[in-house]
Amino acid sequence: MIRSAENTSADSPQGTSGLFEDKKMKNTQKIYRSIISAAAAALFLFTAAGTGILFAEESRTGYRLISQRTSGDVDLVEKTFDAAGNLLLEMDPQTQQNVSVPKTEENGGETAKETSEENKTEKDTPRTVIQKIPMKVTSRQKYEEMYIQEGNLLPGERAKSTLGAWHFLENDTLVKIEETAMKQEIDLSQPLLGVDIKDSHIHIFRPEGFLTRNELDTVNIQGNTLLADYILPNRTNVQIGESWKQSPDTMGMLLQMDLVFNLDIRTKLADVQKNIAILETSGWLEGSYEGNTSKLEVKGKSYFDLNRGRIVWFGLVIEEKRTAGYITPGMDVTAKIQYKITPMTESKNLTDATVGKIAFDEAQYGLLLFEDPGKAWRVVLTPEWEPMNHNEYQSNFRLISDGELVAQCSIASIRDTKNTLELKPEEYAAKVREMLKEQFESILDVKTMQRDDKTEITRVDVSAKYEDLNLRMYYYLLTQKGTSPKQCTVVFTLEENLVEKFGEANEEIIQSFTWGQ
């Protein structure tokens, strides 16, 4: 597998040196997303403000547990989330490094190629220890939600989108890893979000612009409020004490697991008091997230208003144990979530005119904005590109697909352009060859492009070799001339056998590149 990039000089083209030393997994967005996905799922709280008549004979014939939520309903959502536990990292006891970091000359002198199964011996098998990193998350959020379209959780061609709109009002989210506390922000000056839930995917997007990775991880907590009523049996004549089994589709979506291997989660009509049906949910689920296996124990209680035909309160406690993997850390976390939703007769934020601006365009789903800390440039990334580490001059990303590390990307601002501003394409290719030294194999292609914003782009495709790994590398030099010239280098590194899977991901990022301040 390709190793993670470390900082390289921002004054010259990058080589493979440093591209294979991973940092300890402490990327805030990644850890936060892992915590949330590991910890939680919930449905939601709605106030019991409806009117209606509950016939006396219903207690004898059973109760109608069918959602009456309709298109156009608007609610005020107040969400609380608390989680605590440990992140789990597999560590090499000799090097004290995460075993997900392939060995290099700098950190152990071994090759990155895995030993074949037929030649592997007990000596080759790493003896690892688990490092526990304490973590805690607290989150309080408030937003308005419009239910636009009822869908289903069926796969493939039978799938129909559940559509909604959110207008965020408040967010106070804090993540604490060991002794480091980090605020998770949402840009409340752009509060409108669209939500499309279809075919085992939850797409949350900003209609006019892009969410950042940090924002997406903050709002995309399991137990999406648009899916609240999916836990209901949707039938009449339900007796007190009667229970029903939750499906893999429902719980997999609510818990946002990539795969559900097995589960036994049931919901029971425990009691009815003053037209409120009290539902109790409990059980377990086994599945996977980003390639890591996970076991969840769930226990919850919810209130269903028989007059309104809506769930009016839901609280859930989840205990999750997830194994540590190559890509993401494991965890041992307990989370408590509850949602309160107050029906609104009118919303000044989610009007027909406002909601009408939301284009549910699948081509725009999942695109995230990343702006470097130095404000020199911006790129738009798909969620598969995960930020690793960054500073004022350089940012590193890795591309994860189906739990596999496919490629790495490093973007660096050139601070002093006097030696690089007038580089011709063949001169830049020569510098790339010089940088790679003995790792250089051959130049595959050199080309230049001109963008409408007067940005010149030189691209050099290289075949390289690092120990026994055959690599493909794409080097870009982006130049904007003028009274205040700017330059950036962008380097993509991947194994040769992953070129087809990688596709044109490099060009997608280059085309999205824009200059900052």
- pLDDT over 50 at 482, yes or no: yes
The arithmetic mean of pLDDT across residues 401-409, rounded, is 87
Pick the CATH number of 40-89+132-355 from 2.20.25, 2.30.230, 2.20.28, 2.60.40: 2.30.230
The arithmetic mean of pLDDT across residues 480-495, rounded, is 92
Look at residue 374 in the predicted model and tell me its pLDDT.
Answer: 82
336/58: higher pLDDT: 336
The arithmetic mean of pLDDT across residues 492-503, rounded, is 96
Look at residue 99 in the predicted model and tell me its pLDDT.
Answer: 53
Look at residue 222 in the predicted model and tell me its pLDDT.
Answer: 79
What percentage of the chain carries pLDDT values higher than 90? 58
Look at residue 224 in the predicted model and tell me its pLDDT.
Answer: 87
The arithmetic mean of pLDDT across residues 215-219, rounded, is 93
371/102: higher pLDDT: 371
What is the chain's mean pLDDT, rounded? 83
Look at residue 94 in the predicted model and tell me its pLDDT.
Answer: 58
- Which region among 46-50, 309-313, 463-467, 499-503 has the lowest average model confidence (pLDDT)? 46-50
CA distance 43 to 75: 14
Same fold, 40-89+132-355 and 367-515: no
CA distance 376 to 511: 16
The arithmetic mean of pLDDT across residues 14-26, rounded, is 41
| 113 touches 149 (CB < 8 A) | no
pLDDT bracket for residue 393 (50, 70, 90): confident
CA distance 202 to 224: 9
CA distance 219 to 226: 13
The arithmetic mean of pLDDT across residues 247-252, rounded, is 90
Strands 368-371 and 211-212: parallel
The string of pLDDT tens digits covering residues 118-167 is 344 444 555 668 889 999 999 999 999 999 999 988 888 889 999 999 99
pLDDT bracket for residue 481 (50, 70, 90): confident
Look at residue 101 in the predicted model and tell me its pLDDT.
Answer: 43
- pLDDT over 80 at 516, yes or no: yes
Delimit the domains of the chain by residue range.
40-89+132-355, 367-515
CA distance 418 to 408: 28
CA distance 379 to 166: 25
- Residue carrying the six token digits 């990343």: 370
The arithmetic mean of pLDDT across residues 385-411, rounded, is 88
Output DSSP code: residue 122: T
Look at residue 92 in the predicted model and tell me its pLDDT.
Answer: 62
- pLDDT over 90 at 426, yes or no: yes
- pLDDT over 90 at 42, yes or no: no
CB-facing half-sphere around the CA of 383: CA atoms within 13 A: 19
Look at residue 216 in the predicted model and tell me its pLDDT.
Answer: 93
Look at residue 201 in the predicted model and tell me its pLDDT.
Answer: 87
Buried b (16+ CB within 10 A) or exposed e, 430-446: ebbbebbeebbbeeeeb
- Which region among 226-230, 303-307, 390-394 has the lowest average model confidence (pLDDT)? 390-394
CATH number for region 367-515: 3.40.1000.10
105/272: higher pLDDT: 272
Rg (the chain; Cα; Å): 26
CA distance 403 to 290: 5
pLDDT bracket for residue 289 (50, 70, 90): confident
430/15: higher pLDDT: 430
